[in-house]
Amino acid sequence: MNKQTDTFLLDSGAAARIVADIGADIATDTPPQVGISRPHESAHLHVAGTATYTDDIPELAGTLHAALGTSARPHARIRAIGLDKVRAAPGVVAVLTADDIPAVNDCGPILHDDPILARETVQFVGQPLFLVVASSHDAARRAARLAEVDYEDLPPVLTPEAAHAAGSYVLPPMHLSRGEPHRHLETAAHRDSGQIRLGGQEQFYLEGQIAYAAPKENDGMHVWCSTQHPSEMQHVVSHMLGWQAHQVVVECRRMGGGFGGKESQSALFACCAALAAWKLMCPVKLRPDRDDDMMITGKRHDFVFGYDVGHDDEGRVEAVAVEMVSRAGFSADLSGPVMTRAICHFDNAYWLPNVQIDGYCGKTNTQSNTAFRGFGGPQGAFAMEYILDNIARTVGRDALDVRRANLYGKGERNVTPYGQTVEDNVIHELLDELEASSAYRARRAATRAFNAASPVLKKGIAITPVKFGISFNVAHFNQAGALVHVYNDGSVLVNHGGTEMGQGLNTKVAMVVAHELGIRLERIRVTATDTSKVANTSATAASTGTDLNGKAAQDAARQIRERLAQFAARQAGVDAATVRFGDDLVVAGELRLSFADLARQAYMARVQLWSDGFYTTPKLYWDQSKLQGRPFYYFAYGAACSEVLVDTLTGEWRLLQADVLHDAGRSLNPAIDIGQVEGAFIQGMGWLTTEELWWNDKGRLMTHAPSTYKIPTINDCPEAFHVRLFDNPNVEDSIHRSKAVGEPPLLLPFSVFFAIRDAVASLGDYRTNPPLRAPATSEAILDAVDAVRAAVAAGATAVPAA
Ligand code: MTE
Ligand code: HPA
Ligand code: MOS
């Protein structure tokens, strides 16, 4: 797909440059093990179908299978649940309800408003009410449909607007302001206000939610779970059972994708499997099918924004006020930190001198929305990009020029609304490079010329920048631990607190350890994440997996290397500081040993060959009540240029070309990072174009399978897809000066949405702002086309926003 990838494999010249740069770290002059493209550690297993996911673990004798019975109503009191037919169904062993939970019926990550099984009331269509345990997966699912539930309907709240109108929120509202926004709104040369609608998104991990629990001796429980957060699963399972944390072990070798959907919402499945295993004293597996997974679990929050902006003739923002209302769903889950991140990304890459942001997490009778790649950041930044896109047409300037006029400065105009100074700004240089390499100006002129001669098919083009803050916005999550074992044959086993979901975390951590010990990557094996190995881990989230766990593993490996260096130095009668590790060799004075021989000799001399490691991110502080501080260690930057062709009769469109330049710092593994950028780009494009969540007026999600919910496929990837990494060592002391890459590139396909909007705007000679909503489905595009045509017919120069 990406014809450019191989040009990023480092040639020997580039490798030598990296040696020169990081030589000080490694005390060796042999080639580095980081900064080079290496395949994903499990790539050969993925393609052969032999990678073990949770459902592939050989089943223990006596394993039973569970299925969830769910609510058919969005909001109701439960008068009675008739379970006789369920119990009598073939293969059924037990039916469990909330009454069977021995301790706490809650699996919420922050507040305690998330029942595992609903008891007196149900709050959304799809909410779990009971658990059927049967001899087979099929028998459990068939039986779960036979319940007779007597509902007393209560009035539901089905949209964020309705929740906001009713003042119904899952958390208190959040407010952030700087300067005098309202005074400057009054005095600005131009003022515009309107509403922006932005849809949610289903994570659509290829491997669905799953948990498999087995009781162990002396009141113990082992849970294999597809989760980004094993320690949280340990915590909720032990709470539910009224146990201590040390009684529960949670293990995850890998996920077939998480995308945020398994940060908190794996909890329901872990708890239900463990409840049944505890009750029946046998292994129990719970694997919902795709439709049930989509009906039960939360998604990316959809948002409605109301804005009021004042700007000058050049399009520079003088003041902006924005009201953000998210669809939290029926419970808080992670909606608070998601809203915080939305607020802290409204600025995107722009200096906003006077600003007011008000965030409301609307409580609705729908699935409880949760983390999804970007975690509110994409939603907040999208609103600002939409506002700037409007301003450009209002003042009649090129949208890129208006964006540039508003960028954060260097040394001035560089403090974010939340009080963090932007110290690592590279967006000017990055945009210069992309504007030139994509030939933006010439192609923009060409789209104008094409459109003048083409009445139905219209082209559009747009460049959008990204600035994304890296660190958990809850300070104490920014810690990690690792355990590194060197066996006496010189092979190495690494365990750390992060989870592998396809993003290449284990590969990067293995590369860091190989580099530290000066050994070949093949000597290193990374094992399953396991709460009995590294304790109190954070979720693998906020893109921080490598930043945190890479540093922790480096710390562990350094301690082992130091002990080995001391040992080798004693043998050779030299100073330990002169011992060199590299190329699988250790050189100390005249002594020259293979790493394996040194490990064996050190073992015989009773040197400790394993170590733990720990890391906490420096410089962070955050006052959540004031929304002020330094929530982010650093920022990652990027920009993309997209060109589309839109059929204004059918609303169909194609992405013709995308040019992407993304800042992964000094990339640890360019091949994996480019893969992350490509994947995030296409995933974000799906969010903003074809993926539409639609609930009917009874609160039932009708788009709960791939037949009705359209994610992108290979056919939607542009033929010309040029993804490059921007060479930019992190100014902060991150792991080998790399930058987190998991989430920031999800914002790059804003350029696709605004290119579509540019194409539609051509129908009004670029003078009216098309009221295009997101996702820009064909239907939404046709609505915008009609609105622009109507505005032109009415002689208007501007139409209201979406
Ligand atoms: N890439 C793959 N292949 N699968 C995933 O589930 N999740 C994304 C991103 N890239 C994801 C992915 C999300 S939401 C995050 S937060 C990061 O990976 C987490 O991993 P990292 O911190 O190790 O980058
Ligand atoms: N990202 C992902 N998960 C989180 C965050 C975040 O910023 N904060 C708390 N949980
Ligand atoms: Mo990613 S949304 O932080 O799991």
Side-chain-side CA neighbours of 354 within 13 Å: the count stands at 19
State residue 606's pLDDT score: 98
State residue 796's pLDDT score: 67
Q: Give the three-class secondary structure for 160.
A: helix
Q: What whole-number distance in Å separates Cα of residue 241 and Cα of residue 142? A: 28
**Which residues lie across from 524 on neighbouring strands?**
492
3: which residues sit within 8 A by CB, 6+ positions away? none
Which atom of ligand 1 is least distant from the CA of 205?
6
Q: Please report the DSSP string for 727-795 in residue order.
A: ----SS--GGGB---SSGGGGTTHHHHHHHHHHHHGGGTT-S-----BS--HHHHHHHHHHHHHHHHTT
Pocket test for ligand 1, best of 503, 537, 551 (most atoms within 8 A of CB): 503
Q: Please name the residue whose Cα sits nearest to atom 23 of ligand 1.
A: 545
Which atom of ligand 1 is least distant from the CA of 374?
14
Which atom of ligand 2 is least distant from the CA of 263?
3
Q: Do 239 and 295 contact (CB within 8 A), yes or no?
A: no
Q: Do 588 and 569 contact (CB within 8 A), yes or no?
A: yes
Number of Cβ within a 10 Å radius of residue 635: 26
257 lines ligand 1 (CB under 6 A): yes
**Ligand index nearest the alpha carbon of residue 470:** 2
Residues at CB less than 6 angstroms from ligand 2: 263, 334, 337, 341, 371, 375, 472-474, 477, 539, 541-542
204: which residues sit within 8 A by CB, 6+ positions away? 257, 259, 709, 711
How far is the centre of ligand 3, averaged over its atoms, from the C-alpha of 219 (Å)? Answer: 33
669 lines ligand 1 (CB under 6 A): no
How far is the centre of ligand 2, averaged over its atoms, from the C-alpha of 538 (Å)? Answer: 10
CA distances from 161 to 168, 305, 335, 365, 691 (A): 10, 10, 16, 13, 21
CA distances from 705 to 52, 53, 68, 287, 695 (A): 25, 22, 18, 16, 13
State residue 11's pLDDT score: 34
State residue 2's pLDDT score: 37
**Ligand index nearest the alpha carbon of residue 474:** 2
Q: What whole-number distance in Å separates Cα of residue 687 and Cα of residue 373? A: 11
Query: Model pTM?
Result: 0.95
* Regions of the chain where pLDDT drops below 70: 1-30, 796-802
pLDDT tens sequence across 79-94:
999 999 999 999 999 9
State the catalytic residues: 743
